[in-house]
Amino acid sequence: MSGVEVITFGCRLNTYESEVMRAEAEKAGLNNAVLVNTCAVTAEAVRQARQAIRRARRENPHARIIVTGCAAQTEKETFAEMAEVDAVLGNEEKLTSASYRSLPDFGVSAEEKLRVNDIMSVRATAPQMVKHIDGHVRAFIQVQNGCDHRCTFCIIPYGRGNSRSVPMGAVVDQARRLVEGGYREIVLTGVDATSYGADLPGTPTLGLLAKTLLKQVPEILRLRLSSIDSIEADVHLLDLIAEEPRFMPHLHLSLQHGDDLMLKRMKRRHSSADARAFCAEVLRLRPEISFSADMIAGFPTETEAMFQNAVRLAEDCGLAHLHVFPYSPRPGTPAARMPQLDRVLVKERAARLRAKGAELHTVHLERMVGSRQMVLVEMNGLAHTENFTLVDAAGLEPRSLVAAEITGHNGKHLTIKRKQMAAA
């Protein structure tokens, strides 16, 4: 092979950072290299990364393989000991060309492979400018990194460090550059995006950032947030939901559970009543909005009654999309030291919660039949409505915004009438 190939796992922030990595590696003159940007959110994510590294070595026997990302930050020795790996970079190091210029030669020891600093020592997030997001119709912008909270199940703060925000002006500049490059939809992303601004002068909020972005870059046609912690939602964000048509009517919520004792043991900052109240208020402000959410099944000490409370919350909040994680212990987290449930039971509850999610998704699809939607066509024959529902758009031009009449669904995607559609 020639050039730089990037394999990306995990969140939208990783997708954004992979573009920065590619640009910095190429600036450093790196060639014949595979960069693996890992995720640490679950043990399965780490396993998949190791599997991809082995496959990359088989397919590119003479390439330099460099591993980075959250799993490389939290489990650096695991990857340094792999014979297939030539170097391991930390989450901070992966974003600078100097790291790629100073890589060790082939055949060094596991210790010499490591270029991983103490992520907790990082106090600022430098703005990173990219021209495009490879393979994506929607453009992601990093507005924040790290997390100051310590949920008992989560290893990510140890991979990302403490919360730090990108200055508002830099976010505006990046958005303007991406819009000039033809992107019609911008997604603001971060590890804990709703904590945005707490470390900046004047302590601006995520909602204020979004308001400013839409005002200063009027060419943005659609603006989204990647994920929010509803307990941190600010008044500016609620204003946008109620009043701004360019702010898309979909929120992905970090709920995790629906039982109050489970939420306390997870060290979450909201109660089930908080979640219900937030969803009810947002629906009042924007009736067409849809919600998706992360939920964990089989958390330590979870009883059947507690699990049913999670199912009930999904129903009460009308969640259109459920992203279900079967709990898996992450070494170094408090939850890993709690009494664990049998793995068979964990997987069984996760399957039941996914089934409830599929049922709620069907209800959501049926509600949309007969409506007229503006859809943004992706590269894979699918499209997204404004409320982030997938549409079968085979044959439509990628990157186009199309007004479509929703005629039905197939259980997963909406279907559309292909006549009388107009591109925006």
Residue 86 has pLDDT above 80, yes or no: yes
Categorize the per-residue pLDDT at 114 as very low, low, confident or very high, splitting at 50, 70 and 90.
confident
Cα dihedral 196/198/202/205 (nearest 10): 30
- Taking the CA atoms of 116, 119, 120 and 125 in sequence, report the sign of the dihedral they define: positive
User: Is the pLDDT higher at 255 or at 125?
Assistant: 255
Smallest Cα–Cα separation from 313: which of 275, 351, 363? 275
The pLDDT value given to residue 106: 52
Categorize the per-residue pLDDT at 129 as very low, low, confident or very high, splitting at 50, 70 and 90.
low
The helix/strand/coil state of 176 is helix
The pLDDT value given to residue 44: 87
DSSP tag of 231: G
Q: How confident is the model over 82-100, as a mean pLDDT?
A: 91
The pLDDT value given to residue 345: 98
Residue 326: in which H helix or E strand, if any?
Answer: strand 321-326
The pLDDT value given to residue 214: 97
| Highest mean pLDDT pick, 24-38, 88-102, 119-133, 277-291 | 277-291
- Distance between CA atoms of 136 and 184, rounded to whole angstroms? 11
Partners of 377 in beta bridges: 383
Decide the pairing of beta strands 144-145 and 139-142.
unpaired
pLDDT per residue over 130-165, tens digit each? 666 777 888 999 999 999 999 999 998 888 899 999
pLDDT per residue over 282-297, tens digit each? 999 999 999 999 999 9
pLDDT per residue over 215-254, tens digit each? 999 999 999 999 999 999 999 999 999 999 999 999 999 9
pLDDT per residue over 60-84, tens digit each? 999 999 999 999 999 999 999 999 9
User: Is the pLDDT higher at 321 or at 115?
Assistant: 321
Can you say how many angstroms the Cα of residue 231 is from the centroid of all Cα atoms in its chain? 18
How many CB atoms are closer than 10 A to CB 352?
Answer: 16
Q: How confident is the model over 110-131, as a mean pLDDT?
A: 69
Decide the pairing of beta strands 401-409 and 372-377.
antiparallel
The pLDDT value given to residue 16: 86
Residue 409 contacts residue 421 (beta carbons within 8 Å) = no
Residue 171 has pLDDT above 50, yes or no: yes
Residue 422 has pLDDT above 80, yes or no: no
Smallest Cα–Cα separation from 216: which of 186, 173, 252? 173
E strand segments, 210-263: 222-225, 250-256
Name, in order, each residue with C-beta under 8 angstroms of 247's C-beta and a sequence gap of 6 or more: 210, 214, 223, 224, 240, 241
- Distance between CA atoms of 48 and 156, rounded to whole angstroms? 17
Categorize the per-residue pLDDT at 50 as very low, low, confident or very high, splitting at 50, 70 and 90.
very high
Name the amino acid, one letter, at 73.
Q
For the chain, what is the radius of gyration of the CA atoms? 22
Smallest Cα–Cα separation from 45: which of 73, 70, 68? 70
Query: pLDDT averaged over the chain?
Result: 91
Span of 288-302, 345-359, 389-403, 409-423 with lowest mean pLDDT: 409-423
- Distance between CA atoms of 236 and 294, rounded to whole angstroms? 24
Categorize the per-residue pLDDT at 128 as very low, low, confident or very high, splitting at 50, 70 and 90.
low
The pLDDT value given to residue 420: 44
Residue 322 has pLDDT above 70, yes or no: yes
- Distance between CA atoms of 69 and 399, rounded to whole angstroms? 29
- Distance between CA atoms of 57 and 360, rounded to whole angstroms? 42
Confidence (pTM):
0.87
Give the C-alpha distances (Å, rounded to integers) separating 198 from 22, 163, 164, 192, 193: 30, 9, 8, 11, 11
User: Is the pLDDT higher at 422 or at 392?
Assistant: 392
Residue 419 has pLDDT above 60, yes or no: no
User: Is the pLDDT higher at 210 or at 2?
Assistant: 210
What angle, 0 to 180 degrees and rounded to 10, lies between the N-to-C axes of helices 343-368 and 304-316? 10
User: Contacts from 124-130 at CB under 8 Å and sequence distance 24+?
Assistant: 124/164, 125/164, 125/165, 125/166, 126/95, 127/166, 127/167, 127/170, 127/171, 127/173, 127/174, 128/16, 128/17, 128/20, 128/95, 129/173, 129/174, 129/177, 130/16, 130/19, 130/20, 130/23, 130/174, 130/178
- Taking the CA atoms of 218, 220, 222 and 226 in sequence, report the sign of the dihedral they define: negative
Residue 217 contacts residue 175 (beta carbons within 8 Å) = yes
pLDDT per residue over 365-397, tens digit each? 999 999 999 999 998 889 999 999 999 998 899
Task: Using CB atoms within 10 Å of the CB of residue 397, give its burial: 0 to 12 exposed, 13 to 18 middle, 19+ buried.
Answer: exposed
